[in-house]
Structure 1
Amino acid sequence: MDFDDELFEQEDKIGSDDLLAADDLRLPESANPLVRLHAMRSWLKRKEKEANLDMGTAALDLQDLQVSSETAHLRRRAYQEQQEQLQIKQNAFQQAQERMAAYEEADDMLEDCVNHTTVSERLMVEYYLQVEELIQTGLAESDQVATPRLEALYEVQNRIERIGASYEED
């Protein structure tokens, strides 16, 4: 086996991960629990990468705004507008951080669930229940207010429902 063969095999693997990570993935009812698990892992990794990218973009925007505010002497109104923009960028960064942390937490929880539950149909049920518990705890802590963390956990829960449920043909 040469380097080109290894590269080709790696591209195939990345391709299958991309397919399994797709939001519109529909697995047949007969899909193996390992395929469902791999689909969940792939989706979580994709969401972590997206949140990381959002966080980096927000950090760069924030840095650009801070640099421009240090070099310019602005009037009061322009200064207030710039401070508002700075606050918006800081909020975007913080929200991306919260989403990233939620996806990482969900990923860790999935791996913990795999380690303590046999890979079967029951695995996704157990995982769903653990995510549901996290959501309920988060809702109680945030006084029923939606946060970026809770929104990410709802997305995880919806993903579990999509890959764990069977779909009827219309």
Structure 2
Amino acid sequence: MDGQAQVQEVYAASAARLVAQLFAVTGDYAEAQDAVQEAFVRVLARPGRLRQVDNPEAWLRTIALNVARSRYRRRAVFDRLVRSGRLTPADRGVPELSPDHVVLVAALQRLPRATRETVVLHHLADLPVADVAQALGCSVEAVKTRLVRGRRALATDLAETGDPAGALVASTRDRGIRHA
């Protein structure tokens, strides 16, 4: 059995158990999922290592626990910096989202990753095309192509869901988001 097939087999057999165990440790289900996912990502980077381990689930549990501990320590350092006054935290409350924003985010999630990143950086982060190209490590022409494809896909998607795309575009324009 090759390394990737073994990782898939171990994932199918033990991922849910590992998440439940990490949830009990962290008290945060999303954090537990993230830690287990990170453990599997690390194993996928070097799948041959899994064959060298007597108990893959125990080994992955150790990796996931270490990931959770590291993340906890980083959060603790950040919290200390905030309490000391050396950092001012961004608003930690949940931002109010208009129905249009929720619909737009859902439509963005249906775009291919590269197109979604391009559209978000240009239209929501308000970066010029050249800066988007630099951030994504691609050409200006690639950014322009992705923007055209992204806009077309969003217009089609939003029209199919019954949300008037024009209203959504207008609502983003009202918030100062460029449409180039």
Greater relative contact order structure (CA < 8 Å, 6+ sep)? 1
Q: Which has the higher helix share?
A: 1
Instruction: State the TM-score bracket (shorter-chain normalisation).
Output: under 0.3
TM-score relative to the length of structure 1 = 0.27
TM-score relative to the length of structure 2 = 0.26
